[in-house]
Structure 1
Amino acid sequence: MPIAVISNLNSHRNQRLAGPVRALLETSPEVIHVESRDPSELPALLDALRRQGVSHLAVNGGDGTAQHTLTALLNGAWPDPPTLAVLPGGTTNMTAHDLNGGKLGLLPALRAFLAAARRATPPRLMPETRRIIRVQCDGHDDQYGFCFGLGAIVRGIRYCHERVYQMRLPNELAPGAAMLRAFYGIARREPVFAEGLPVTLRYADGESGAQSEQLDTSFMCISTLRRLFLGMTPFWGSGTGDLAMTIVREKPERLLRTLPALLRGRPTRHLTTGNGYTSRRLDCLQIESDGEYMLDGEVFPVADSPLKLDAVTLPILALATTPGEPSAR
């Protein structure tokens, strides 16, 4: 069955490596390579690949490209979605690094995908079932991604685009700097970062049944990834659900002192609900708020009805496990 690569020519690494990517794919004439510059092109491109019977699809772009492609793919008419791979073609590449089981350069990742799709690699490179966040809102298309955020996460993304990227920090350091600035702003009670966002949550965690609460949150992060950028794992809550959620409420206690433990997901005697920190694993969640939300680095407008989050599954290749491939970026 055909295999395909879809490349976002506007993503960071593709601006530099589009030529070498094309040259590599020209040595594999059985591979369908399509290029895009705008997310609005994706539904038609993916539908064309569906009609051609594509069995394996690599997404060549950044976190936002992966989010847009997943959304177009899972909202489309593809009854049996292809096995997916995400190539690190962007700036941060948080999604690619986690799904691939480690950091891998764009061209080595592409070679690994081609080998895996041809079934020329050992069985340990068989697809792995991974969980993907589905965000539903009445009257809107479902959105799909791996990391959802509210509050300071959205403000940190805007700060990153407005102030940090112009510093030309490499790869993950830019969002890392923006995140630290946001947490510093929360700790110093700076309104632009620290102002609490009123939210109403209704959720189920598989242990206590349905629950609800109202709170003012400065930071909310929900993810199905094992590690976020810079290797962060800011989740420590109990439960068996697929959605890992951490909340930092407005005016948390001892934030700067507890921040290293929070980012590593290691609870301390200060990292408690009473001090403003909550973490748990959920099966599903409904959120009512008046704030913008983030999904894989993409900012979405205020929802006009509650957001409903749960998880769906998709087969995904972990490309960094390919033997003999260098891990250089």
Structure 2
Amino acid sequence: MATPIYEFGQIPQMDPANASRGRMRRVRDAGQAPTVGVIYNPRSHRNLGADFDCGLCPHVHIAQPRARAQLPEALEDFAAKGIDLLVINGGDGTVRDVLTCGQTIFGDEWPVIAVLPKGKTNALTVDLGVPDDWTLQDAIDALDHGSRIYRRPMAVGRADEPDSRVAGFIMGAGAFTKSIQAGQNAHKLGAFNSMVVGVTGIWALLQSVLAGRSNPWRKGARMQIGLGAADAPMAHSGQGDPAMRQLLFASTLERLPAGIKPFGALKSGLKLVAVDQITRRTTALVPLVLMGKIRGSLRARGIHQLATTQFSLTIDDQFILDGEAFPSGDYRIEQGPELAFVAP
């Protein structure tokens, strides 16, 4: 369920009135089995084309959409059945597509969500504390006996298409885009999840320390960032070209793979870190920054860590949202509805 470059005009749409009429509200009696809808991505890395046993339970409904355009129909069917639990079986890209296509259908009334970590990257399940071997039955059991964790995905929309927004949890640009490309090569070598973060992080650090500012790893991308509803321009340290940022990274997750802490002490809400074209000396300190060992005087060094309600981004290069590339342009990034996820 992915394309080389994400096109906002291709987001599947449906009539919100029809979606509203299709939803059922029901109160589950004590001891009653929950109604479960499963979006199963057979192309996810750890699914390997295998099928679920569809005879698990008559209350478990499994859909296997082969393309993004088929997701709304599957989700509308789940909404009509009044599901208590929506299980997403796939990686971060599958989560992004399900949350994006479900916006019109569920609005602010989403069912509880469970995510089975079956993709090449599973940053959301790292944040939720879901083990790699979590099964469908584990997720169903957790609905009544596990914990609930609440997160709000980012809602990313083009300035010229405000009604078409993509939901996701990790966004990056500049050197982050290069890291994702390097991560694809790491996948081919058998590295996934936290291992990818380590492998690509070391490679990016070496490139940034040894290369000049013309190197793509240090050059970054030309971008303008406006903070909050007032669109206040983000400050610049004066390091390098003020029109460029070496890296931009944003997320609403609170725990990231490999234990990295790019936002310092900030945890909740929409957080971002922007890095100017910093010096080699500051670049060498980046591992300590990521581990949360250095927090003071970072802004003067060209590393900006902050939380905001929303921000705008004008960028002349691609950026990445949950593993997929998006075209250059003018964007606004906000927070979507608060969603309840089950965890062990």
Q: Which amino acid aligns with 1:201?
A: I
Identity of aligned residues (%): 24
CA distance in 2, matches of 1:40, 1:178: 32
Q: Identify the residue that residue 292 of structure 2 maps to in structure 1.
A: 265
Q: Secondary structure at the match of 1:308?
A: strand
Match for residue 10 of structure 1? 43
How far apart, in 1, do the equivalents of 2:116 and 2:71 lie?
17
After the TM superposition, which parts of structure 1 deviate over 3 Å for at least 4 consecutive aligned residues? 75-79
Task: Specify the alignment match of 1:324 in structure 2.
Answer: none
Structure 2: segments with no counterpart, 5+ residues: 1-25, 27-34, 235-241
What root-mean-square deviation, in Å, do the aligned CA atoms of Structure 1 and Structure 2 show? 2.4
1:128 aligns with 149
| Residue matched to 1:251 | 278
Match for 2:176: what amino acid?
I
Contact 2:175/2:247, CA 8 A, preserved across alignment: yes
Equivalent of residue 310 in structure 1, options 328, 331, 334: 334
User: Shift in Å at residue 181 of structure 1?
Assistant: 1.6
Give the TM-score normalised by structure 1: 0.82
Q: Distance in 2 between matches of 1:40 and 1:148?
A: 23
Measure, in 2, the Cα distance between the counterparts of 1:27 and 1:54: 16
**What is the DSSP-based 3-state SS (H/G/I as helix, E as strand, rest coil) of the residue aligned with 1:48?**
helix
| Runs of at least 5 residues in structure 1 that lack an aligned partner in the other structure | 322-329
C-alpha displacement of 1:31: 0.5
SS at 1:129 equivalent: strand
**How many residues are paired up?**
300
Q: Give 2:246's match in structure 1, choosing from 181, 198, 218.
A: 218
- Cα deviations by residue, 1:80-108 (Å, 9 ceiling, x for unpaired): 22211111011221112212xx24134x3
Residue 60 of structure 2 corresponds to residue 31 of structure 1:
yes
Question: Residue in 2 aligned with 1:283?
Answer: 309
Give the 3 Å change call, closer, same or farther, for CA 196–128 of structure 1 in structure 2: closer
* Letter of the 1:160 counterpart: G
Q: Secondary structure of 1:36's partner?
A: coil
Looking at structure 2, the residues matched to 237 and 281 of structure 1 have their Cα atoms a distance apart, in angstroms, of 11
Question: What whole-Å deviation, never above 9, does each CA across 1:3-60 have from its counterpart, x for those lacking one?
Answer: 11111000011117x34xx13x522221101112322321222122222222310100
Structure 1 pair 30/160, CA: closer, same or farther in 2 (3 Å)? same
The answer to whether the 8 Å contact 2:231/2:311 transfers is no
Structure 2 CA distance for partners of 1:133 and 1:75, relative to 1, 3 Å: same
Deviations 1:264-322 (A, max 9, x none): 233255x622222111111111111111111111111112xx21111123332232x2x
Q: 1:129 to 1:241 in 2, by over 3 A?
A: closer
Separation in structure 2 between the aligned mates of residue 112 and residue 232 of structure 1, nearest angstrom: 28
SS of the residue 1:178 aligns to: helix
Letter of the 1:267 counterpart = I
Aligned partner of 1:146 in structure 2 is 169
Mapped to 2, the partners of 1:42 and 1:4 lie a distance apart of 12
